[in-house]
């Protein structure tokens, strides 16, 4: 039964890759016509692709979570020194994944966006970004696997506690490194200047955070979608606005968007998400270790536990998404209170909906299981009926970020 399930998971992975490969070859051979910009059809298609990819990943993780299957995988690396086996397997799996997943990445990340007129990025530029992201991901996973496997092998009873303790500094390091060293590999970040920057700086000054970095990123290199976000920690903490947003939105609308991001910044949502990740990681590690086969070799046990972590992380995704949506609601409330301009909030959210080809209402099951943001239709309705007050943070400077 175990062998049958493992074979089924491998067959599902191979079949998914073959279907996407056929679609990729067809798309490359005869360029597709642009599709009508219909949010409903675009949303349905993206949901199908996301659910299919998750099902494939979960099936493969379920197969590898069995000790015998994990042990059979490890046999290919038994000639290597024990400490070298886990990172070698991870590096090999990453390389195989880059090849097998390329057709799916092409269809989902390139072809689909171009067909719905959401991107004009040339194939060569997309390919460079894809290769860079894949290589960075493979190197990071390989390095982490070496540390993770060492802890599991040397502390088979207490490794969940040690891994949990290591999650916090790892998350902080990631938050510091990504905006300064990795994000600039894909885009150019420059300080926002001009009348809009002065207006946004006045807004930030009301809450004692006028020293926050407000940056412009050339998001138009990859997409026509508009976006803004908060990233980093300590001195790398910054609010980033896409040029697609700056050039398409009115000043009042931009102010609402930035006020929303200020809400995240002042509420220290980056820290909140970091601690949530640590707690979720601790629970995941603890559950993954329950019933793990101790008679396996250290490398086989690492493979088994890693598969379980992958599976449990997928199961915990709805909890993380629920927390994220709650922070988005809070940031909207802060922005409404800070700007006292619900009309601009409504127009900004509607412009985001139109420019990003988003649906007013996404299916409830998808929002619960996957969505990090509430439906835009619900956010617009809330902005139209909101009663606002000046946030309490306005009465005192907020510097401890």
3-state secondary structure of 189: strand
Torsion angle, CA of 85/87/92/94, rounded to 10 degrees?
150
| 33 DSSP assignment | P
**What angle is formed at CA 45 by the lines to CA 57 and CA 115, rounded to 5 degrees?**
115
pLDDT in 10s for each residue of the chain, 401 residues: 555 555 666 666 666 666 666 666 666 666 667 778 889 999 998 998 888 888 878 877 777 776 676 677 777 777 778 778 888 888 888 888 788 788 888 888 898 999 999 999 999 999 999 999 999 999 999 999 989 989 988 888 899 999 999 998 998 888 889 888 999 999 999 999 999 999 999 998 888 887 888 999 999 999 999 999 888 877 778 889 999 999 999 999 999 999 999 999 889 998 999 999 999 999 999 999 887 767 778 888 888 898 899 989 998 999 999 999 999 999 999 999 999 899 999 999 999 999 999 999 999 999 999 999 999 999 999 898 875 444 554 444 333 33
3-state secondary structure of 265: helix
Distance in angstroms (rounded) separating the CA atoms of residues 205 and 262: 11
113 by Cβ neighbours in 10 Å (0-12 / 13-18 / 19+) ranks as: buried
Contact by Cβ (8 Å): 239, 212: yes
Distance in angstroms (rounded) separating the CA atoms of residues 106 and 123: 9
């Amino acid at each position: 039964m175990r062998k049958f399930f493992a074979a089924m998971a491998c067959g599902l992975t191979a079949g998914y890759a073959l279907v996407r490969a056929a679609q990729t070859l067809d798309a490359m051979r005869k360029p597709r016509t642009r599709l009508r910009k219909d949010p409903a059809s675009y949303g349905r298609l993206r949901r199908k692709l996301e659910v299919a990819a998750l099902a494939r990943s979960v099936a493969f993780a379920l197969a590898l979570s069995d000790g015998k299957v994990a042990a059979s995988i490890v046999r290919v690396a038994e000639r290597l020194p024990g400490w070298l086996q886990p990172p070698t397997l991870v590096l090999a799996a990453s390389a195989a994944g880059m090849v097998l997943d390329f057709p799916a990445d092409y269809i989902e990340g390139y072809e689909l966006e171009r067909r719905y007129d959401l991107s004009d990025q040339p194939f060569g530029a997309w390919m460079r970004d894809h290769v860079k992201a894949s290589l960075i991901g493979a190197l990071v996973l390989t390095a982490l696997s070496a540390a993770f496997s060492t802890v599991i092998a040397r502390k088979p009873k207490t490794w969940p506690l040690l891994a949990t303790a290591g999650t916090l500094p790892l998350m902080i390091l990631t938050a510091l490194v990504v905006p300064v060293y990795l994000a600039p590999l894909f885009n150019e970040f420059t300080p926002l200047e001009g009348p809009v920057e002065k207006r946004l700086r006045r807004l930030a000054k009301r809450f004692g955070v006028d020293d926050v970095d407000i940056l412009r990123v050339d998001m138009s290199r990859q997409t026509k979608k508009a976006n803004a976000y908060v990233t980093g920690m300590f001195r790398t903490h910054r609010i980033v606005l896409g040029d697609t947003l700056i050039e398409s939105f009115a000043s009042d609308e931009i102010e609402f968007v930035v006020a929303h991001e200020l809400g995240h910044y002042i509420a220290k949502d980056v820290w909140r998400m970091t601690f949530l990740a640590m707690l979720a990681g601790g629970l995941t590690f603890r559950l993954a270790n329950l019933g793990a086969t101790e008679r396996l070799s250290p490398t086989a046990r690492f493979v088994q536990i890693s598969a379980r972590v992958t599976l449990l992380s997928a199961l915990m995704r709805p909890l993380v998404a629920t927390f994220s949506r709650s922070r988005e609601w809070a940031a909207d409330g802060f922005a409404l209170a800070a700007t006292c301009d619900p009309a601009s909030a409504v127009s900004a959210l509607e412009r985001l909906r139109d420019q990003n080809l988003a649906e007013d209402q996404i299916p409830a099951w998808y929002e619960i299981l996957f969505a990090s943001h509430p439906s835009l239709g619900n956010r617009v309705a809330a902005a139209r009926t909101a009663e606002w007050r000046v946030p309490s943070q306005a009465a005192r400077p907020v510097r401890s970020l």
